[in-house]
Amino acid sequence: MAIAWTPDLSVGVENIDEQHKIWFEKANELFEAGKQQRAKEYINTMIDFLDEYTKKHFSDEESYMEEIGYPELDAQKKAHASFINDLAKLKKDYNDGGGNLLVILNANKMVINWLTNHIRHMDKKIGDYVKTL
């Protein structure tokens, strides 16, 4: 199942939207690599990139929310921390399973659901808040 950013996922804050687009693109590359049964080292490199990019994106997003005085910052931080833990568990499960590609393929749905739900139900509120400033 491919994952793609679509205009209905726009938060309305250019920097956040651009980072979301890259996140979707890189997540999709990881899942495609899993489907193509690429080398374990390649998959690990992709997971590492996704992990680092996610942390950078969340940090940027949280800094922006602090800057604008966003009232739901704490809820966002908790959701972000939870997802970072989920990514760490994904990597651990993948490595503990000896590079079991099924772990990557099964994680696809979890990541898609989390990301699209998070954007639709939490991040879009950032854009709504910005419009009131």
What are the tens digits of pLDDT across the range 103-123? Answer: 777 677 677 778 888 899 999
With respect to residue 5, please indicate whether it lies within any of the assigned structural domains. no
What stretches of 73-119 adopt beta strand conformation (E)?
none
CATH code, domain carrying 32: 1.20.120.50
pLDDT recorded at residue 106 = 67
Q: Output the pTM of the full model.
A: 0.83
Question: How many domains, the chain?
Answer: 1
With respect to residue 97, please indicate whether it lies within any of the assigned structural domains. yes
Range of the domain at 116: 11-132
With respect to residue 104, please indicate whether it lies within any of the assigned structural domains. yes
With respect to residue 82, please indicate whether it lies within any of the assigned structural domains. yes
